[in-house]
Structure 1
Amino acid sequence: MKLVLKIVGGLIALLLIAALALGGWYLYQKQPVRSGTLALEKLTAPVSVRFDERGVPHIRAENQTDLYRALGYVHAQHRLFQMEMVRRLAKGELAEILGPKLVEVDTLFRTLGIRAHAKATVAKMDMATPANQALLAYLDGINQYQDTQRSPIEFDILGIPHQPFTPEDTIAVSGYLAYSFAAAFRTEPVMTFIRDKLGPDYLRTFDIEWNPQGVLTQPTTLSQRDWGSLNHIAQISQDAMALAGVPLFEGSNAWAISGKRTASGKPLLAGDPHIGFSTPSVWYEAHLSAPDFELYGNFQALSPFALLGHNMDFGWSLTMFQNDDVDLVAEKVNPENPQQVWHNGQWVNLTTRSETITVKGAPPVQLSLRRSPHGPIINDVFKDSLGDTPIAMWWAFLETENPTLQAFYELNRADTRDKAREAASKIHAPGLNVVWANAKGDIGWWAAAKLPQRPQGVNPTFILDASKGEAEKPGFYAFNFNPQEENPARGYIMSANHQPKPSSGVPVPGYYNLYDRAQRMDDVLSNPKVRWDTEAAQALQLDTSNGYSRRILQNLLPVMQSVVTDANEKAFMEPLTKWDGNYSTDSIAATLFSQMLYELSKAAMEDELGEVQFKNLLNTRAIDFALPLLVADPQSPWWDNTNTKAKESHFETVRIAWSNTLKHLQGLYGTSLLDWRWGAAHTVTHVHPLGRQKPLHLLFNVGPFAAPGGRETPNNLSGAMGPAPWAVSYGPSTRRVIDFADASRAVGINPVGQSGVLFDTHYADQAERYIAGEYVPQHLSEDNVQAYTKSRLRFKPAP
């Protein structure tokens, strides 16, 4: 019997060993190939790829077509699943692999028309241009990898079929990029609701001029069902990227300093675009080199051209312009024919197209999508919240030529200020601030976008009324009317998503960020005593202070001190009275302040807005602008709780908010203030799409890490306003600093790692260094590339 047990035990052990061996072999087969020789179809000459200590490829080719084909291959072997997810999100094809829960997200993106627009755009493209030849070579490299190598683990888990990547995918992804900037979906419905349902006294808190011209006026033409429909769309818009695990573009910092203010005597460029955190991160770094071209760039999935980049001679960074390039338009319907709307003095027919969403494990979903002269009707395909008034979406991305690929092809080669300006002029939507510098001493900033001309008196913050002609666009302003600067006398340029002041006087409405972050950066940059170098630039990128808390607390603390009478509660309030506004990980005041802001907003506004509208408001920048004005106005109608018979003052509402703040934090962290540190409540986890399902989060997600910084500090590690604990959802997607005295010594950092392949060495090897505020070299010179090469891969032409 003992012998039998030993034999059985041995067999079980052998089976376990075999299973582990098979599992190890399975995972090994999925890893990127970074050494050896591979044959690549259509190459005209060998290409070398040297991978450095972070897994960044340094690609050397004899011509640019071979260069981009190799880039596509190595990009795909590190990020193929990311490429697959972002194209499916943009084209409305996620339900095919993720099932019915993604149908609404697919419906939204089909309704936006990105897929149809991409198809029409590609049909008109001249594929013989150098930019499009580069695109085709890059996509061919991706497809060759997909056709010849093992699928990523995620493809096996989800059963994703292989489909070739096409130019339509690249154009569609650029549409997703434009959409992710569009705050109109979240902002315009709630602001219109406040104006039309609550009135000008409530609206005044948001610092928006009360102007009924060009917008829906009372009595409102929107029904309760219309508001339900718009609220639903706003929520889907907010959730779309989270469900798909695709980063959302949020904000950014960038600045360029002229040589007269730097320690080296040459311009210095710094930038850190703020984008949603995910695993893998949004950027893929690569160094491209050919006899007539060199660039160290940060690349987005399915784009062959770097959106951020530099070489020894020039470089640039981007911030989001935040201009309003989306208008929601309430159409006037013909009472005799519901398929007609009023446009330019007459009834015109709506056009209709049909699309089919394939759904994993369920029948296909048929869509009938209508379009007016102002754009796609966005609210009549969500049947559970169907409204009565068709709401059209005018979107600059759909209404402009928008040769963005050509723009970045040129920007990747813009070695003079004139070339950079010309490249920037070709960016129509989304609006981007291009901050540029070169080794010759020039610095420049161009707000790149096609700015629409709107009729006098129109405020696009609200839903527009088509029946009055206020939604019409006579045309666009010329690029030279856009906000811009070149070599200003003050010696620096700074862009931080704040509202610009164009010298041309052209109006630039938008959904701009709080000015506190920009003000903090400008205060530091304007100090004439600072001689700027790489270390000083890093310190500013990592700064965790701003003046927002002081703006609010100067009016809020006196009220709190008058209503808080309990000695124990006063002790809890003491950190706020001494706070310098720094969101360091050991700050207790940062935790108290952030929870109090949420409780104050909830106590003041949720009763008037309702739960859904209030949640949508918390996801907009409008709430940030409103709170300083609210606490400064004791007569604001928001202070009264409309659910009670009594009329509450700001004293009662502040007292309730403070009481709820303490109750919530004590319930989470106990009664010791020492346990209320910011780093305990404020953490970042880089979430993989599959990491949203337990227990896969243990494998795929990276983190959590205690996070410094906060909402609109220069180190903008943040998320939507809400109750503790706070999961950071976005922040610097990279931090770059280039001193053009020697651009080969540029530094940067990736929030997670270069690779999106699970168990790869470079899957998360930069995550801890990133959150600690460290930087790593971006090797550009041949000596440095040679010194830090860890492996070599060679592509040869296929026989």
Structure 2
Amino acid sequence: MKRTLKIAALLFATLLMLAAAAAAWYIYTKQPQRTGSLTLTQLTAPVSVRYDERGVPHIRAENEADLYRALGYVHAQDRLFQMEMVRRLAQGELAEVLGPKLADVDRLFRTLGIRARAQTYVASMDKTSPAARALDAYLDGVNQYQATHPAPMEFDLLGIPKRPFTAQDTVAVSGYLAYSFAAAFRTEPVLTHVRDKLGAAYLKVFDLDWHPEGVVTPGTTAAMNSQDWGKLDQLAQLSHEALEMAGLPQFEGSNAWALSGSRTASGKPLLAGDPHIGYSAPSVWYEAHLSAPGFELYGHHQALNPMALLGHNQQFGWSLTMFQNDDIDLIAEKANPDNPNQVWYHGQWVDLQSREETILVKGAAPITLTLRRSPHGPIITDAFKDSLGKTPVAMWWAFLETENPILDAFYELNRADTPEKARGAASKIHAPGLNVVWANAAGNIGWWAAARLPIRPDNVNPSFMLDGSTADADKTGFYRFSDNPQEENPARGYIVSANHQPRPNSGVPVPGYYNLFDRAQRLDERLRDPSIKWDVKTSQSVQLDPQNGYGLRVLKSLLPVLNTVVPDPLEHALLESLFAWDGSHTVNSITPTVFNQFLYELARSAMADEMGAVQFKNLLGTRALDFALPRLAEDATSPWWDNRNTPAVESRADTVKAAWRATMDHLQLTLGKEPAGWGWGKAHTLTHGHPLAAQKPLDRLFNIGPFAAPGGRETPNNLSGAIGPAPWAVSYGPSTRRLIDFADAGKALGINPVGQSGVLFDTHYQDQAQTFIAGGYVAQHLSAADVTANTRSTMTLTPAANSPR
């Protein structure tokens, strides 16, 4: 018996060892190769790829085609699954690999028209342009990697088939980026709901001009009924949740500034930038140092794009923020009661265009969509499988209605060493709207708000849904780029861009869904200090600043009220901390926890009864609420204070008291009875979520975090999310922090929120995550000497025997 047991134990141990060996071999075959020699077809000469201590490739080629082909190859081996997921999201193909739960996301993206626009865009591209040739070489590198290597682990888990990447994928991804800015889907239905269902007195706190001309109003032929509103509620919710469901990052804000040499310790311009994007694993940016005769750039690239969206070299550099201009209008069409496929346009009934598309669904039958388009744009309410309501809503979107040579724009921006070249490149960015903040070693700084701004009829307020039965919903053209907001070498010696409302010198209107001005004011307050000569060290303190004045603005009118309605001594001590608070969000502080919970409870107590559950949830995801709450706090007579669900008429004091009580109850329930345990870092955490994290227990394997997170909503260190109840999961923030002093741009600093690689178990999958959350920076090697000193491995890509010479 003992002998039998020993044999069984030995066999079991052997099987375990074999299984472990097989697992180890499986993982090994998925890892990136960063040493040795590999062959690529179409190369004309060997390409050197030197990897530094963070896994950043420093690529040296003899010509641009070889350079971009090599970039595609190394980008794919680190980020192939990210490339696959982002193209599927943009083209509405997620359900094919993730199943029916993503079918509504696919419906939305098909309805937006991104896929169709990408097809027509690629068909009309000049294939001989430098940007098109660069894209062709890059995609060939991506496809050569995919064709010659095992699929990533995620492909195996989801059963994703390999298929080549195309230019249509790249263009569609640019449409996804444009959509991710689109606050209109969340905001316009909400504000129209407030105006039409509640009235002008309720709209007052949003500080919007009351312009009824051209907008949908009760009693008009295109007025919305309850079923129509139900459909728009769905649209707002789905547009807000789509990217979260897909596990892919969304653009949210950004900081950037440029200082002239008169304001710096070195006497040369200094550039800083930290675009605010949704957090994910892997991170959105892929760093690569590219070098070929006549061209060098240290760039930050996005999936499937060979052109860097952020970059620098010894001569110049730039960063981006989101312009936040309103380039989407939602338009309620007047449908023909005798023919639902006709709408009233310019005094007559016109036919809707239509096309059919098929969504493949894993484990379910395919879905056939009939997608319609009016003269104003796609009928976005067709996104829903159940045809509710009678009013079709169209979407006019600059991404669909402009030439938008964005690949050419960034190809030129990657080489823009003078203000004239940078300005010319920025003029070719039509959608999404971007602020280009630029500097060069010759001493120039500049900022250009890049977008094609539509000319809308006078007195039309695009914050509301428009009435398609009138010409007021039309666009009569676009303003000149020279009329856009912009500055070059201002006398004050610095430029700040932080998603705030710009003031163009031309007087051209720039409606939009801009962020709070508090972050921009805080940056301006710091940078205008004449006693400081700025360098990369002092600039770090600005990027990492966890303070702003928003909380103080909200509390200014409410603290005296709270002082009279909070009797409990322990709670009064918390209230005293709010009186003394400077607006800082540091991890050990209790005060920001109390404030942010109170902010949510204030909004809920005042507004949820009027808005209803669905529209209140949508309101929480808008920037309009950020602007409304300080005005609401100041206005003791606002009708929002009354709770419609009670027979009494509540005052501001009544509602503020209820909000405070709810704040205390919620924090005690979620964080513990003792306020000593309510530290901001306990309640406010960052987890970098992988697209597979929704499948338990894969979240434990692929996710990175959680980490206690400093900063907060609209502080310069903008680690944040939507207004909501504790605990708070940070959803977006600095996607990198870059600091470049052009006295020696080779000593630039930066950081990746997690790591270069998207390959699980790779050394560089999360090797920067702790440094990032702690506010650390790492070197971005640019000079030949620094690259050589920090090279950890070298890979050589050589031409295949049949490659052209």
Q: Give the TM-score normalised by the residue count of structure 1.
A: 0.99
Contact 2:346 2:470 in 1 (8 A): no
Matched position secondary structure for 2:798: strand
User: Aligned partners of 2:569, 2:734: CA distance in 1, in Å?
Assistant: 41
| Identity across the alignment (%) | 69
Show CA shifts across 1:477-521 (max 9, x none): 010000000000000000000000000000000000000000000
User: Aligned partners of 2:657, 2:232: CA distance in 1, in Å?
Assistant: 34
Counterpart residue number, 1:123 = 123
User: Aligned partners of 1:720, 1:795: CA distance in 2, in Å?
Assistant: 46
Contact 1:232 1:385 in 2 (8 A): no
User: Aligned partners of 1:771, 1:383: CA distance in 2, in Å?
Assistant: 43
Contact 2:574 2:591 in 1 (8 A): no
Counterpart residue number, 2:26 = 26
User: Aligned partners of 1:758, 1:269: CA distance in 2, in Å?
Assistant: 33
User: Aligned partners of 1:457, 1:746: CA distance in 2, in Å?
Assistant: 47
Letter in 1 for 2:381: N
User: Aligned partners of 1:378, 1:406: CA distance in 2, in Å?
Assistant: 30
Counterpart residue number, 1:577 = 579
Counterpart residue number, 1:48 = 48
Contact 2:68 2:138 in 1 (8 A): yes
Counterpart residue number, 1:655 = 657
The answer to whether structure 1 residue 236 and structure 2 residue 238 are counterparts is: yes
Letter in 1 for 2:413: L
Contact 1:343 1:467 in 2 (8 A): yes
User: Aligned partners of 1:768, 1:258: CA distance in 2, in Å?
Assistant: 33
Counterpart residue number, 1:609 = 611
User: Aligned partners of 2:276, 2:680: CA distance in 1, in Å?
Assistant: 21
Deviation for aligned residue 1:381: 3.5
Q: Which runs of 5+ in 1 are unaligned?
A: none
Counterpart residue number, 1:75 = 75
Deviation for aligned residue 1:569: 2.5
Letter in 2 for 1:447: A
User: Aligned partners of 2:60, 2:508: CA distance in 1, in Å?
Assistant: 45
Aligned 1:151-162 pairs, distance under 5 A: 151-162=151-162
Counterpart residue number, 2:630 = 628
Q: Which runs of 5+ in 2 are unaligned?
A: none
Bigger shift: residues 220-229 or 536-545: 220-229
Q: 1:485 aligns with which of 484, 487, 492?
A: 487
Counterpart residue number, 2:536 = 534
User: Aligned partners of 2:504, 2:248: CA distance in 1, in Å?
Assistant: 33
Contact 1:295 1:309 in 2 (8 A): yes
Deviation for aligned residue 1:466: 1.3
Counterpart residue number, 1:178 = 178
User: Aligned partners of 2:672, 2:301: CA distance in 1, in Å?
Assistant: 45
The answer to whether structure 1 residue 764 and structure 2 residue 793 are counterparts is: no
Counterpart residue number, 1:371 = 373
Matched position secondary structure for 1:274: strand
Show CA shifts across 1:302-330 (max 9, x none): 00000000000000000000000000000
Deviation for aligned residue 1:579: 0.9
User: Aligned partners of 2:386, 2:369: CA distance in 1, in Å?
Assistant: 14
Counterpart residue number, 2:203 = 203
Contact 1:379 1:387 in 2 (8 A): no
Matched position secondary structure for 2:252: strand
User: Aligned partners of 1:155, 1:249: CA distance in 2, in Å?
Assistant: 26
Letter in 2 for 1:470: D
Q: Give the TM-score normalised by the residue count of structure 2.
A: 0.99
Counterpart residue number, 2:507 = 505
Show CA shifts across 1:252-278 (max 9, x none): 000000001100000000000000000
Counterpart residue number, 2:703 = 701
Deviation for aligned residue 1:239: 1.1
Counterpart residue number, 2:472 = 470
Show CA shifts across 1:753-772 (max 9, x none): 00000000000000000000
Deviation for aligned residue 1:669: 1.9
Counterpart residue number, 1:218 = 218
Show CA shifts across 1:332-358 (max 9, x none): 112232211111222211010000000
Contact 2:264 2:535 in 1 (8 A): yes
Letter in 2 for 1:107: R
The answer to whether structure 1 residue 386 and structure 2 residue 403 are counterparts is: no
Show CA shifts across 1:90-124 (max 9, x none): 00000000000000000000000100110111111
User: Aligned partners of 2:583, 2:58: CA distance in 1, in Å?
Assistant: 42
User: Aligned partners of 1:753, 1:223: CA distance in 2, in Å?
Assistant: 50
Contact 1:380 1:387 in 2 (8 A): no
Contact 1:404 1:428 in 2 (8 A): yes
Contact 1:73 1:141 in 2 (8 A): yes
User: Aligned partners of 2:631, 2:618: CA distance in 1, in Å?
Assistant: 20
Deviation for aligned residue 1:728: 0.1
Deviation for aligned residue 1:56: 0.1
Matched position secondary structure for 2:705: strand
Counterpart residue number, 2:318 = 316
Deviation for aligned residue 1:385: 6.4
Matched position secondary structure for 1:289: strand
Deviation for aligned residue 1:297: 0.2
User: Aligned partners of 2:420, 2:680: CA distance in 1, in Å?
Assistant: 46
Contact 2:345 2:470 in 1 (8 A): no
Show CA shifts across 1:590-627 (max 9, x none): 00000000001000000000000000000000110000
Counterpart residue number, 1:328 = 330
Counterpart residue number, 1:670 = 672
Aligned 1:158-307 pairs, distance under 5 A: 158-219=158-219, 221-307=223-309
Matched position secondary structure for 1:587: coil
Show CA shifts across 1:49-104 (max 9, x none): 00000000000000000000000000000000000000000000000000000000
Contact 1:311 1:780 in 2 (8 A): yes
Contact 1:439 1:741 in 2 (8 A): yes
Matched position secondary structure for 1:218: coil
Counterpart residue number, 2:348 = 346
User: Aligned partners of 1:742, 1:207: CA distance in 2, in Å?
Assistant: 46
User: Aligned partners of 2:395, 2:385: CA distance in 1, in Å?
Assistant: 18
Aligned 1:579-594 pairs, distance under 5 A: 579-594=581-596
Matched position secondary structure for 2:437: strand
Deviation for aligned residue 1:567: 2.4
User: Aligned partners of 2:672, 2:115: CA distance in 1, in Å?
Assistant: 51
Matched position secondary structure for 2:425: helix
Counterpart residue number, 1:523 = 525
Counterpart residue number, 2:420 = 418
Letter in 2 for 1:586: N
User: Aligned partners of 2:670, 2:343: CA distance in 1, in Å?
Assistant: 54
After superposition, the Cα gap between the structure-2 partners of 1:498 and 1:256, relative to the gap in structure 1 and judged at 3 Å, is same
Letter in 2 for 1:719: G
Show CA shifts across 1:369-412 (max 9, x none): 11000000001341346221000000000000000000000000
After superposition, the Cα gap between the structure-2 partners of 1:219 and 1:567, relative to the gap in structure 1 and judged at 3 Å, is farther
Show CA shifts across 1:417-437 (max 9, x none): 100000000000000000000
Contact 2:335 2:390 in 1 (8 A): no
Show CA shifts across 1:24-51 (max 9, x none): 0000000000000000010000000000
Contact 2:64 2:134 in 1 (8 A): yes
Q: How many residues align?
A: 799
Contact 1:228 1:385 in 2 (8 A): no
The answer to whether structure 1 residue 93 and structure 2 residue 106 are counterparts is: no
User: Aligned partners of 2:383, 2:80: CA distance in 1, in Å?
Assistant: 32
Counterpart residue number, 2:777 = 775
Show CA shifts across 1:187-238 (max 9, x none): 0000000000000000001111111111112236101111110111111111
Bigger shift: residues 573-582 or 82-91: 573-582
Letter in 2 for 1:279: A
Contact 2:332 2:465 in 1 (8 A): yes
Letter in 1 for 2:656: V
Counterpart residue number, 2:14 = 14
User: Aligned partners of 1:671, 1:82: CA distance in 2, in Å?
Assistant: 43
Matched position secondary structure for 1:50: strand
Show CA shifts across 1:647-702 (max 9, x none): 11111111110000000000112222210000000000000011222111111000
Bigger shift: residues 642-651 or 725-734: 642-651
Contact 1:407 1:423 in 2 (8 A): yes
Contact 1:225 1:385 in 2 (8 A): no
